[in-house]
Each structure stands twice: as C-alpha cells, then as structure tokens.
Amino acid sequence: MSSSFLNVQGLRKTFGGHLVVLDDINFEMQAGERVVVIGPSGSGKSTLLRCVMGLEKIDSGRIELEGTPYIEANANRRKDNFVDIAVRNKVGMVFQHYTLFPHLTVLGNLILAPMRARGEARASATDRAMQLLRRLGLEAKAGAFPGMLSGGQKQRVAIARALLLDPKIMLFDEVTSALDPELVTEVEGVMLELAEQKMSMMIVTHDMWFAKRIATRVIFSANGRIVEDCPPAKMFSSPSEPRTADFLKKVLHVETIS
Amino acid sequence: MGGYTWDFSAITRNWDQLMDGLAVTLQLTGICTVIGLVGGFLVCLMAMSRLAPLRWIAVAFIELFRCTPALVQIIWIFYCVPFFFGVFFDPFLMAVLALGMNITAFNAEAYRAAIQAIPSSHEDACTALGLSPLKKTVYVILPQALLMATPVLLTNTIGLLQQTSLVAIVAIADLMYQGKTLATQTYRPIEIYTAVAFIYFAFSLPLSQVVGLWERRLRSRLA
Amino acid sequence: MNISAALGFLWEYRQALLIGLGNTLYFTALGLLVGLVIGFVVSVVRTAGHPLLKLVATGYVEVFRGTPMLIQLFWFFFCLPALLGVELGNVFSTILTLSLYMGAISSESFRAALKAIGTEQRDACIALGLPGRVSVPYVILPQTVMRAVPTLLSNCVTLFKESALVSTVGMADLMYQGQMIADSTARPIEILTATALIYFIIAFATTRIVTFYEQGYLARMRL
Ligand SMILES: Nc1ncnc2c1ncn2[C@@H]1O[C@H](COP(=O)(O)OP(=O)(O)OP(=O)(O)O)[C@@H](O)[C@H]1O
Ligand SMILES: [Mg+2]
C-alpha cells in the first residue's frame, strides 16, 4: 500500500504473448495532478490508458486507486485479472471516436449508467444531467440523437456522460484527434475547465501546445517504457533524454517550445 | 426414446438408386447455375439500362420471381405453360426453365447490389484518369463487382441446390424423389430421409465454407 | 381468356383461398416468433458462448441452412415421431420445422448485426461501469435489433415463401388450397395465378417496407 492516488506497479501488457506493448511500467500520481502522456505512434499510450480503465487484460502487475488495488494480474496467466469493479467505476474515460450510443438521445446517453447501473431515480439523474449540459452549453441538444451532432458536440457529450458518474480520475485518449481544427478548442476548453476544478486526469494527445498548457506533469513513453517523466516546463525546454529531444524535434519542427 | 433400431441396410441396398437421384439433382443444379450466372448478369444489365421499358421488364421479372415461392413457380409453370403454348415439354426441361428463371432473378439482384456498392468516387477517379466508359466498366467496375458479388452468388447456388428438391413434387426423379420413393418402399423413412439430408448437406457445407472464407478475405482486402 | 369470367370463378372459391391464406399467415407468424427467439439466442452463443455450445450452435445453423426445407419437413413429420415414439401432431411438426428453419437463417442476421456493433461500444459500456444486465438489454440488444431489422424482414419474407412447402405434407395452407381447387375444377390457370399473386403482394409489400426503413430510419440514425 502506498499513499499515492493512482499507483501502477510492474504493469506488463502483451498482445498474444509475443508483442510486448507495455514493459514493466511503474508510475504514481497524486490527486489533482494532470499527467499528459506523449510519445511516438504505437508506443503504447492508448494501451496504458486502457489498462488503467480495465479494458485490457494485463499480463502482470497491479493498479491501485487511493490505496486499493483494483486490477491485478493473476499468477496463472490463462486466468482473468482480478478486478474490483466498484473501485474501477471511479475511473472515467473518453475515447477518440466518441463512442456515444447511437440509439439513445444525448440525455439518454447521460442518464443510462446513473439510472440502470447505480439505481439513481430518473428525475434526479435527469436533473443533474441537464445542469451539466447547461454548463457545457449543450442544453438545447438534450433531445438530439448523436448522429445529428457535430464532432465537437459529440465529444463534449461523451465527456459529460463520463462526468455525470462523479469519477475520481478522468482518462482522455486523443479526444480531439478526430475533430476538425475549428472544433478542437471547444473540447479543449472543457478539459481546461476541469483542470481548474482540480480534476485528476491522464491525457494522451499529439498536441504539444495543449499538453504544455494543461499538464502538471508530462510523461514521454517509447517502446513500452517510460523514458522521461517531468514537469512540462522542463520537458519542452530541456528534456534530459536524447530520445525525448529527438521526438519533440520531429513533432514540433523546432528545438523546444517556450 | 432409444427404442428405435436403426437398419442402415435400407440405404446400402438402395445406394445406386439414391446416386441416380443425386446425379439428376447435380445436373439440375449445374445447368441452372450456368443459366443463372449468365442470365442474371444480362437481366442486371437490363435493370440498370437507360431505356426505361427494358428496365421495367427486368425489374418486374426480378421482383416477380423473388417475391413468390419457388414451389408456386414450379407448379405454375408445369400446369400453365402447356396450356398457354399448347406443347408438353420434357418435365426436366420445364424444371430447368422454372429453377433457371428463379436463380436468374436472385443473381441479377446480387450483381446489381454489388455494382451499386462501388463508391461513386471510383467513377470520378476513372474520369479523372481519362478512362473511357467502356474501359472504366471493364477494368474498374466489373472486377470489383464480381469480387463482391461472388459470396452472394455462391450462397444463391447453395439455395438452388436445395430448391431443386422441389422438382420431386412434379415427379422428376431427383435425390429427393428417390428418397421419397424408397422411404415408402422400404418402410424405413428415418434411415432414408436422414441419408438424403446428409447427402444434400455434404454438398452444401463445403460451399458455405468457401463463402465464409471469401467474405473474410473480402473484408480484409477492402478494409 | 375472359377476365370477368375468371374473376367470377375466383370469387366462388374466395372462402377456401382465404382459409388457406389464414393458415399460411398463422404458420408463418408462429414460426417467426419462435424462430426469432432461437435465432437471437443462437447468435449470442455463437458470438460469446462456451466453445462446446458454440460448436453445437454452429452445427445447428449449418445443418438447417445446408439441407432443403422439404427434407427437414419430411424428417419432422415422418421420422421424429417414430424416433421419439410419440405422436407430435401435424401442426406442431409444421411449426417446429418453420421455427427451426427461421432460427437458423435469422441467427446469421443477428450475428452480423452483433459483429457490426464493434468493440468500441463494449469499451464504452465498461468505462461507464455498465454490468452485463444493463449493457445487454439497453445497449447491445437495441442496436442489434435496429441493425438486423432489414435482413430479419427479408428472412421473414423467405420464411413466408418457404411455408408453401407445408402443402406437400397435406397442411391446408394457401398453396395447398390453390392446388386442390385447381385439381378439382380443372382450371389451374386462374387459381394458380391468383395464388401466386397473393404470395407476391404480401412478399413484395414487405420488401418495400425494408427499403423504406433502411433509407429513412437507419440513415437518419446513422447507425
Ligand atoms: N488489440 C490489439 N491487438 C494487437 N495489437 C494491438 C492491439 N491494440 C494495440 N496493439 C498494438 O500495440 C501497440 C501499441 O498500440 P497503442 O494503440 O497503445 O499505441 P499508441 O501509442 O496509442 O499509438 P497512437 O499514437 O497511434 O494512438 C501497437 O503496436 C499496436 O499495433
Ligand atoms: Mg492511441
């Protein structure tokens, strides 16, 4: 047991046993921190988030939230992971492709889990959902189906859907990558607002400027390992690892950003 | 249950008769498959032609045969063709006519769906590349359409194999008919009908496996 | 041929034809109801069941799709009762055959729809902490049904048409009545054509509904 908020210990993840995607990842995070994960394509950033969410079966290691292990690899690798669903439900996640339920309205998407999985009354769930939608400027869209929304609106609804479950930590996997450029800021705005409210977040993004703006800490991962882990100011001005500098140079076309 | 004593000699003793029936079934299937592949394509072309009357005839033909039971088609043709034309064709020929038109209609629809599934961007790309309409059709549209239509055409062929059993009702000596005859002759319907079912299944299963394989390949190639 | 005389002749036999149509619809509807339940359960088992169950379910689907319905009908009429040593009743055997046939063909439609939902929706369910008792009825089932409806409706048309086969084992459906009248009056043309038209109108109307649903509803939902 440790005192940290989120604690990933010895996490190893392979696909089919031979393709090693995450190799002995150890990392801790305090409440209120906003950790941005950057790294080359295929380096396992999405997989890391999916493991923390409990979407992938891990090969070894364990993940704790507030001192309680909620995902733990079984010693017998053929068996399923141990998963404490009550704790896992304190983790929220937003995906690149929205993944809204197309057959439900915006409001229906929001209140499904509170009502059906948590037993909240429809009136109270609807109340909270409408409040949240109002805050995000989506009140008028409550009755619309996802197919009729813009990408930015869809992604904000997806964020609202996760927030309505009062998560302790939110995971964002490239949530703006599928959006038209002019819609990116409306989604980033919501995330910055969450940052102001001290929401704990893990964010995967390819937008280094946004990373610099929102992060309290940046992790550079490559080949399934954490190569560098430091505050954004240091990461983007004077990274200590040559591999990090190399990567940043490629994606930014300049030495550093300030 | 369990009280029944199986007697497979009913099958072994009459194996030749079943095989005679199978030969008729396979002949019917083979001939009608060829008719369906060619005829279906022609009717599909008609259904997509610029001439409205041609289109109407083709569409009416397709819908008529797709929206009535094959049994009704066979019985209708057997009863009514001699009446209208005043001639009695050989029953086998009548069966070929009925089943052939049926499969033609289904295949025409398969071709049409495949052609319509090709994105219109390909047409634009062909124009941009300066391909003539003929070249566009021969080199770009047709190969793709055939590739996509193949699983459906094969499934239709499996369906045809099974539909041929209907000709037993008009006394053509196919596999089903021989089975029926033997079932009454030998008083062993269980063994005979099970054997007949197995024989049909033995021909359908490999075909349906090919369909599955083809579809998986298509998905990975066109993904 | 004189049209008004033909219509007058048909009018005389309207009662018998209507009874036949009623039976056809009754058999089809019951086969449909039971078959859809079987089909959905089988598709879920084949997508996410125990390997042994999966094998059984796959075997069932392949056998019923790979043999003519005629032989299935004969088997359930003449073989199963003898094997079990009990009287099943003709109506029961009829509906059993139609249900099992519908179960096999509709399970394929359900399965395709289940596959199309994709892993992302399942991920979203986990991320929202939806247990199976919520995600299956509120997320997976509605989307599966909505996507499967077009193919399921064509399955219904297929079943409706295939149901004409029950006339061959003496069930008094539309086809049977039509043939009886044709034989007893020696006027096959009018009566068989009318029978075919009744089948056509119902089947064709259903296929139009499919198109309407696909173009309107599904497109709007962008499923
Ligand atoms: N379901 C899967 N089965 C097999 N391999 C997978 C699967 N999911 C991911 N991978 C592989 O794992 C590696 C890491 O993938 P991941 O999606 O985590 O990368 P990423 O860092 O998020 O990349 P990107 O920046 O492109 O999103 C890749 O090589 C990928 O091909
Ligand atoms: Mg990724």
Domain of B205, CATH number, reads 1.10.3720.10
Residue A78: count other Cβ atoms within 10 Å of its Cβ. 5
Domain segments of chain A: what residues? 6-252
Contacts of B203 (CB under 8 A, 6+ apart): B26, B161
On the CB side of C113, CA atoms within 13 Å amount to: 24
How confident is residue B121, by pLDDT bands cut at 50, 70 and 90?
Answer: confident
Of ligand 1's atoms, which has the minimum distance to the CA of residue A50? 18
Chain A: give the shortest CA distance to residue C56, in Å. 25
How confident is residue A166, by pLDDT bands cut at 50, 70 and 90?
Answer: very high
Is the reported ipTM for this assembly greater than 0.95?
A: no
Query: Does the pLDDT at position B223 exceed 70?
Result: no
Q: Which residue of C has its CA nearest to B161?
A: C68
Ligand 1 pocket residue status of A21, Cβ below 6 Å:
yes
Q: How far apart are CA A135 and CA A121, in angstroms?
A: 21
Task: Report phi then psi at A70, rounded to 5.
Answer: -120, -15
Contacts of A162 (CB under 8 A, 6+ apart): A92, A93, A94, A170, C127, C128
Rounded mean pLDDT, B112-118: 87
Of C152, C189, C28, the C-alpha closest to C94 is C28
On the CB side of A99, CA atoms within 13 Å amount to: 23
CATH number listed for the domain at residues A6-252: 3.40.50.300
How confident is residue C88, by pLDDT bands cut at 50, 70 and 90?
Answer: confident
- Are A101 and C129 a contacting pair at CB < 8 A? no
Q: Is residue B2 in a domain?
A: no
Ligand 1 pocket residue status of A41, Cβ below 6 Å:
yes
User: What pLDDT shows up at residue A1?
Assistant: 46
Specify whether the CB–CB gap between B69 and C164 falls below 8 A: yes
Q: How far apart are CA A124 and CA A130, in angstroms?
A: 10
User: Is B204 part of the contact surface with chain C (CB cutoff 8 Å)?
Assistant: yes
Residue C204: count other Cβ atoms within 10 Å of its Cβ. 15
User: What pLDDT shows up at residue A256?
Assistant: 57
Q: Do chains B and A touch (3 or more CB pairs under 8 A)?
A: no
Residue numbers of the domain that contains B212: 12-222
| Tens digits of residue pLDDT in B25-52 | 999 999 999 999 999 999 999 998 889 9
What pTM value is reported for the model? 0.78
| Tens digits of residue pLDDT in B68-93 | 999 999 999 988 888 887 777 888 99
Q: Which residue of C has its CA nearest to A95?
A: C124
CATH match for C3-222 among 1.10.10.10, 3.20.20.70, 3.10.20.90, 1.10.3720.10? 1.10.3720.10
Query: Does the pLDDT at position C83 exceed 90?
Result: no
| Tens digits of residue pLDDT in B157-202 | 999 999 999 999 888 999 999 999 999 898 888 889 999 999 999 9
Q: Is residue B6 in a domain?
A: no
How far from A179 is each of A107, A210, C52, C127, CA to CA, in Å?
22, 15, 45, 22
Distance A43 CA to ligand 1 centre (A): 7
Q: How far apart are CA C187 and CA B153, in angstroms?
A: 37
Q: How far apart are CA B219 and CA B166, in angstroms?
A: 35
Q: Is residue B135 in a domain?
A: yes
Using the structure block, give the residue that is written with the tokens 């598709």.
C43
- Tally of residues, chain B: 223
| Tens digits of residue pLDDT in A99-139 | 999 889 999 999 999 999 999 999 999 999 999 999 999 99
User: What pLDDT shows up at residue C218?
Assistant: 66
Q: How many domains does chain B have?
A: 1
Q: Is residue B66 in a domain?
A: yes
The residues with which A65 forms a beta bridge, in sequence order, are A6, A68
